[in-house]
Chains A and B, each alone.
Chain A
């Protein structure tokens, strides 16, 4: 998990420093929160250094009609500079200007922008416009960029974007969302069908996305964990088999515990019973199973022991 987060943080830092990820290899022993804080500090410093110039550029947009400003922007203003100026624009002007800029150019701006400095402009953007740019970012698989925006957009904007995204992309984005509270809101916005889709998406492609799903679930509130857990109890056998494989063969038990614990007893029984097929493997392949059993609540431990044929 931390490997994925680490790589993502290095990618973001590379964008801010305008270098390749390979050039940042010497920072790869820092943990993801340190890298995130380092990026924020460098980004703030780069902005502060030219804050007056950015302000003047923002003010200069008022001297010309937006139609002309839009042409100038796309022709000569690099997206990295436009990203610094965006938050300084009057929100109404920014909305009008955005309607005249190409979607790919705005997606480039999104990759370079610090959304925390542009909240008022972002909130003023019509949802349809936000969706158009989000679809472009999804196409480019800029999941970490999209996740940063989850913290800055309104609930309505997020709802509209989530409705247009495919489930795999939603999982990738959810994994990178920094605020647990916003992540919970994002999951709350998904309807049952979308949530059910997350399970199938996790199981597809040899269960490649289970680590993302389980690590996301670990950060959710108990009601949302339970909601996902109960859907798991209804999931097709193929999905449960894929989860079993992920739990035992990739050692994801500890990550799965919060979801298993949040399920009601009936759902726990169904899911844990399906683990029985792996009972023998479990004891051999999981050297920490005893410690893990100790960390479970009494109810879940009993269910697991039954599934393992020990009770």
Chain B
């Protein structure tokens, strides 16, 4: 059985869910849409973070790249 969406939204936000206001005016469908937007924002963030980290290595001398990659991705 699918989880009620408010719980899903709270889980998605982790400890930050404590900051969550009362969202009772949002019906299940709207809460599901909000969950999808949060997922998408997380994916975009991960993408730009990975790209930024990888591209920044191009500016580092080749000898140091391995070390710095380890430092950033460990």
Contacts and interface: CB of A to CB of B under 8 A. Distances in A.
B46 A26 contact: no
A71 B59 contact: yes
A17 to B, nearest CB: 5
Contact of B16 (A19, A33, A42, A75): A42
A48 B59 contact: no
Nearest to A82: B52
Contacts of A63: 64, 68, 71
Interface in A1-57: 16-19, 23-24, 26-27, 29-30, 33-34, 37-38, 40-46, 48-50, 53, 56-57
Interface in A52-79: 53, 56-57, 59-60, 63-64, 68, 71-72, 75-78
B31 to A, nearest CB: 10
B41 A38 contact: no
A188 interface: no
B11 to A, nearest CB: 10
Size class of the contact patch on chain B: 35 or more
B48 A27 contact: no
A29 B60 CA distance: 49
A239 interface: no
A24 B26 CA distance: 12
Interface string B30-42: 1001100110111
8 cross-chain pairs, A with B, having the tightest CB-CB distances, nearest first: A44-B16, A37-B21, A76-B55, A41-B19, A45-B16, A34-B21, A45-B13, A17-B41
Interface of B: 12-23, 25-26, 30, 33-34, 37-38, 40-42, 44-46, 48-49, 51-53, 55-56, 58-60, 64, 68, 71-72, 74
13 contacts: A19-B41, A34-B21, A34-B23, A38-B20, A42-B13, A42-B38, A44-B13, A46-B41, A48-B16, A71-B59, A75-B55, A75-B59, A77-B56
Interface of A: 16-19, 23-24, 26-27, 29-30, 33-34, 37-38, 40-46, 48-50, 53, 56-57, 59-60, 63-64, 68, 71-72, 75-78, 80-81
